[in-house]
Homo-oligomer: A and B are copies of this chain.
Amino acid sequence: VHSLQMSKESTKPNLIYMLMDDMGWGDLGVFGEPSMETPNIDQMSREGMLFTDFYSANPLCSPSRAALLTGRLPIRNGFYTSTYHGHNGYTPQDIVGGIADSEVLLPELLKEAGYSTKLVGKWHLGHREQYLPLKHGFDEWVGAPNCHFGPYDDKTTPNIPVYNGSKMIGRYYEEFPINHTTHLSNLTQLYIEEALKYIKEQSTSGKPFFLYWAPDSTHGPVYASQMFKGTSRRGAYGDAVKELDYGVGEIVKLLKNLGLDKNTFVFFSSDNGAAMINDAQTDGSNGPLLCGKETTFEGGIREPTIAWGPTFVKPGQISHQVGSLMDWFTTALDLAGIAQPQNVTIDGLSLKNVLLGGTEFDRPIYHYRGNTLFAVRYGFHKAHLWTWTNPWVEYNKGLTFCRGQYLENITTHDQMNYTANPVVFHLGRDTREHYPMKSGHEYDEAVHQINKLIEEHESNLKPGLPQFDWCDDAVMNWAPNGCQELQKCLPIPKSNKQKCVWLH
């Protein structure tokens, strides 16, 4: 029945990606967050498939999101820096680069196949005009190109614009306020409304749709609307989670009410692990996992992941399939009966059979930090070729990516090269990465197998042109398209292109 339904052109599934920002593996009730304040997401997982071993393609927003939409590792799609060894990079507003035209994005392929496409929320694949969502497959967009950092003075640094389509409609901290003290902002409500409106519109359009719902309220500075402020047991971060959970609930409810649930596939995850750096009000939770955002320990890369949609997902399942956000690229095309792009290496694999209750399979996951392969997971084993958290100079100033966690020779502040003798953890027995496997048969076998995989991987690797090498104040959001109508254009300073500085 399933395959029949899916092979019919007329029933191409609607696709919804719900991508959280810096939400950690341990932030959901189903993953043991003690406050258990995500009833709607938890319920979605019980109606669908909950993935315990699902990974981001990178411990940072931009590369993770670029990988999600291209199905390719950041080292291929260019979302890395070649300036430093193993340093993370992303797309702050002085970044010169962005998503290359040569990259094939999921919304482009879906659009070609007859889909309507919309992004609601954070883009983060480059904010210069040629990099924006409407140039890369999206019909519609409401949201922002960068993180909601600020407020800025609009003199040395402009505030980040919020777009509707190809034009800005205001700026954060101006038309779209975010209060750092009260943690109040209406942005999540806007993003929920935009999602619901779009789904309603599309339900009568006769076309399948792709909604990429990317709210960012769990990324610092965290925020929630008045309706949720102070309602969580967990403080401001928990208020943000509760509002997102409410949004998920509203979206799923609408799908059911409109009868779209049978032909809609929903995928919920987060772009990277929770940051373990701030304070009790704003840190998320990676549950028992080691460290957080910025690192290639499990806390940086394992994501709370759910697939939902009765026609495409066997309900009520827990899957231990080792997966990657990049898999959704391949899976979405597979579900939609669209050919995978040719002449380009795709790292994602289709999980269609797993979703339908099929057998889980072994596959490697390559965890990069910047331009460097730091770790590889295969089966239960994870081999760390390099370990690093952040440099001493930062750590000595109080910055850590592993608050409260310390393992000698593992949560290191120097880049440690273990390539010759990788640090291996068995993630079944030791999800927390606390006990490096000792030498012996199991260790040797695991290392041998992983080294073979690495050799194959590296022999075929053609790194993309690095997009995070160059920065320039002149490319900041001074005068985005649409600023004229709003009288919000700011003077653009002289170009001052220089190598970006990435500290960790």
Task: Give chain A's interface residues, CB within 8 Å of chain B.
Answer: 26, 29-36, 52-53, 232-235, 237-238, 279-281, 283, 285-288, 290, 318, 320, 380, 403-407, 425-426, 428-432, 434-435
Cβ distance A54 to chain B, nearest Cβ, rounded Å: 11
Which residues does chain B contribute within 8 Å of A30, judged by CB atoms? 32
Contact of A435 among B35, B234, B279, B318 (CB under 8 A): B279
Q: Could you jot down 13 A-B contacts, CB within 8 Å?
A: A26-B32, A31-B32, A34-B53, A34-B431, A233-B380, A233-B428, A280-B426, A280-B429, A283-B434, A287-B287, A404-B406, A404-B407, A404-B432
In the complex, A139 Cα to B288 Cα: how many Å?
42
Contact across chains for A290 and B53 when beta carbons are under 8 A apart: no
In the complex, A233 Cα to B380 Cα: how many Å?
9
In the complex, A434 Cα to B26 Cα: how many Å?
15
Cβ distance A438 to chain B, nearest Cβ, rounded Å: 9
Contact across chains for B318 and A428 when beta carbons are under 8 A apart: no
Of residues A26, A233, A320, A403, which shows the largest number of chain B Cβ atoms within 10 Å of its Cβ?
A233
Contact across chains for B318 and A36 when beta carbons are under 8 A apart: yes
Contact across chains for A238 and B404 when beta carbons are under 8 A apart: no
In the complex, A31 Cα to B31 Cα: how many Å?
6
Contact across chains for B287 and A288 when beta carbons are under 8 A apart: yes
Known: A287-B287, A380-B233. Is A35-B428 also a contact (CB below 8 A)?
Answer: yes
Cβ distance A107 to chain B, nearest Cβ, rounded Å: 32
Cβ distance A339 to chain B, nearest Cβ, rounded Å: 35
In the complex, A434 Cα to B34 Cα: how many Å?
15
In the complex, A32 Cα to B45 Cα: how many Å?
13
Contact across chains for A288 and B285 when beta carbons are under 8 A apart: yes
Which residue of chain B lies nearest to A407 when distances are taken between CB atoms in the complex? B404
Which residue of chain B lies nearest to A36 when distances are taken between CB atoms in the complex? B318
Contact of A33 among B32, B238, B434 (CB under 8 A): B32
Which residue of chain B lies nearest to A232 when distances are taken between CB atoms in the complex? B428
Which residues does chain B contribute within 8 Å of A238, judged by CB atoms? 428-429
Contact across chains for B406 and A405 when beta carbons are under 8 A apart: yes
5 closest A-B pairs by CB:
A32-B32, A280-B430, A406-B406, A235-B429, A233-B428
Contact across chains for A280 and B34 when beta carbons are under 8 A apart: no
Cβ distance A359 to chain B, nearest Cβ, rounded Å: 16
Which residues does chain B contribute within 8 Å of A285, judged by CB atoms? 288, 431-432
In the complex, A286 Cα to B425 Cα: how many Å?
19
In the complex, A403 Cα to B430 Cα: how many Å?
12
In the complex, A288 Cα to B290 Cα: how many Å?
10
Which residues does chain B contribute within 8 Å of A283, judged by CB atoms? 434-435
**16 more A-B contacts (CB under 8 A) besides A285-B432, A405-B405?**
A26-B288, A32-B33, A34-B288, A35-B52, A232-B428, A233-B380, A235-B429, A280-B425, A280-B429, A285-B431, A287-B287, A290-B404, A403-B434, A404-B405, A404-B434, A405-B406
Which residue of chain B lies nearest to A404 when distances are taken between CB atoms in the complex? B434
Cβ distance A410 to chain B, nearest Cβ, rounded Å: 9
Which residue of chain B lies nearest to A46 when distances are taken between CB atoms in the complex? B46
Of residues A29, A238, A432, A435, which shows the largest number of chain B Cβ atoms within 10 Å of its Cβ?
A432
Contact across chains for A234 and B429 when beta carbons are under 8 A apart: yes
In the complex, A381 Cα to B427 Cα: how many Å?
33
Which residues does chain B contribute within 8 Å of A403, judged by CB atoms? 434
Cβ distance A245 to chain B, nearest Cβ, rounded Å: 14
Which residues does chain B contribute within 8 Å of A235, judged by CB atoms? 426, 428-429
Which residue of chain B lies nearest to A286 when distances are taken between CB atoms in the complex? B288
Known: A234-B428, A287-B287. Is A434-B52 also a contact (CB below 8 A)?
Answer: no
In the complex, A30 Cα to B318 Cα: how many Å?
12
Cβ distance A426 to chain B, nearest Cβ, rounded Å: 6
Contact across chains for B288 and A32 when beta carbons are under 8 A apart: yes
In the complex, A34 Cα to B430 Cα: how many Å?
10
Which residues does chain B contribute within 8 Å of A430, judged by CB atoms? 280
Which residues does chain B contribute within 8 Å of A35, judged by CB atoms? 52, 320, 428, 431
